Amino acid sequence: MEIYTKKNQKIVPLKQKPFKLEKHIQDLVESNLSTLFNLELVKSEFPVNKFRIDTLCFDPESNSFVIIEYKRDKNFSVIDQGFSYLSSVLENKGDLILEYQERFGRTVKKGTIDWSQTRIIFISPSFSDYQIESINFKDLPIELYEIRRYENNSITLDRHQSRSSSTSINEISKGSIIQKVKTEIKVYSEDDTLRYGSDSTKELYESYKSRILDLGNDIEVKFTKNYVGFKRNKSNFIDITVSKIFIKIWLNQKWNSLDDSKKIFRDVSNVGHWGNGDYEIKVTDDKNLEYILSLIRQSYEMNS
């Protein structure tokens, strides 16, 4: 992707300013984890078994650990290395919990961590076609991001997405370390979101989803164990779950920050709930579709 700047009414491409060392990429990412990924730094250079994890992070939304590895060359297998690191993490859960408790001063039990959503992120200035093709599985807990720096200190960070029609990694991984890891790790998809829905609630969800995505081309969709989150600028502005009778919507804003003139949303600021934010509503039909979308738009715009 070319990046351009304007000079004397002329548009000229920016020259790349390559990273000299992997450590330079690591320092930049670790200093900006919240902005880039909404993650918390647990430990840099964390040893586990015979490996040393470049950056160990925690995802407060999914309540799970995330590994980040940095690469400047293309001569490694993201599948082999990724699953080896994930396997080591799952074999040493106690070590990660102790490090987390020391870092944040919070007591946490092993059972409160969602190990099923553990994942690994590789960050590199570029990946080979072979590496990119190797992650084309719909349930792979491995993410590839290309990072580039330019002469005016602009930074781009682009994720390589697997194809929606990709097959499952389970179909080729029998008897391997991959299968061992996959018994504990689950990459959630839209099928999981809809698994308890009826024909009517699935149709209702699709109506809302299409209208939400029409709000802008900067929306990212993330599927979790309990809901699907729609993100803008790395932060959820709405979460949805689908049941047999209704869909439930949460707007990720503080109570009284949105204009709900009809008072149809419920305040869950002091109530346990799956999604993010203080606004919750159960929807059984499309009667208030336009009105609810007006509040969803408010939440979207507040995440600018």
**pLDDT tens string 74-132:** 777 888 899 999 999 999 999 999 999 999 998 887 678 999 999 999 999 999 888 98
Options 3.40.1350.10, 3.30.1490.190, 3.40.50.150, 3.30.390.30; CATH of 4-182: 3.40.1350.10
d(CA 86, CA 81): 9
Q: State pLDDT tens for residues 271-281.
A: 888 899 999 99
pLDDT surpassing 60 at residue 174: no
CA-closest candidate to residue 233, choices 31, 4, 34:
34
Domain ranges of the chain: 4-182, 190-302
Confidence at 39, pLDDT banded by 50, 70, 90: very high
pLDDT surpassing 90 at residue 156: yes
The top-level CATH class assigned to 190-302 is alpha beta
* Lowest-confidence region among 25-39, 109-123, 157-171, 263-277: 157-171
Rounded to the nearest integer, the mean pLDDT of the chain is 90
Tokens of 101: 């408790």
Q: How far apart, in Å, are the Cα atoms of 134 and each of 42, 64, 80, 170, 177?
A: 29, 24, 10, 14, 16
* Lowest-confidence region among 5-14, 59-68, 266-275: 5-14
Q: How far apart, in Å, are the Cα atoms of 22 and each of 81, 85, 251?
A: 17, 18, 39
